[in-house]
Amino acid sequence: MGILDYEIGGNEIKVDASEGIADIPENRTLLIEKLTADDPVNPEVVQNLSTIEEVFAHFKPNVDVEFEDEEGQSVKENFKFQNVGDFSVKNMTEQSDFLKSLNRQKEFYDSLIKQLRTNKVLQKALEDPASKKAFIQALTELRKELDVD
């Protein structure tokens, strides 16, 4: 290996051992992200932030998100991030009432689908046209009772 045989991403180290160049460890991640919704008036150089927690504490990143519900109404919510884990679906859902309600609906429909697929008595009832019609009628009446307008 020649003296000028460098690789991209290496750091030059003064020769006081047998190896003069140390590779950047592959388990490092560089995070570059706009952490605030508004553009700064003047760019700010922030020094002495050595951990990602310190960066989150300094910038207090948050974002306003607008959802649309079933009726087409706008639902606005603000998400705050205190660490990288807050970007996960679970943590974002916990911050949002709208997403919580969607998640509850999803879980209900998932359990309903599972019940429909595994309930042999119900499957038999739905195979017979007369019992299927009676079942649909019973569900329709139940819906009318539950509708409180």
**Greater pLDDT, 38 or 22:** 38
Q: What is the mean pLDDT of residues 95-112?
A: 93
CA dist 9 and 22 (Å) reads 9
User: Which of 31, 83, 40 has the alpha carbon at shortest distance from 60?
Assistant: 83
User: Which of 7, 36, 38 has the alpha carbon at shortest distance from 24?
Assistant: 7
The stretches of 11-96 forming alpha helices (DSSP H) are: 52-59, 89-95
CA dist 61 and 69 (Å) reads 25
Whether 82 and 56 have beta carbons less than 8 Å apart is answered as yes
Q: What is the pTM of this model?
A: 0.58
Quick check: 49 pLDDT over 80? yes
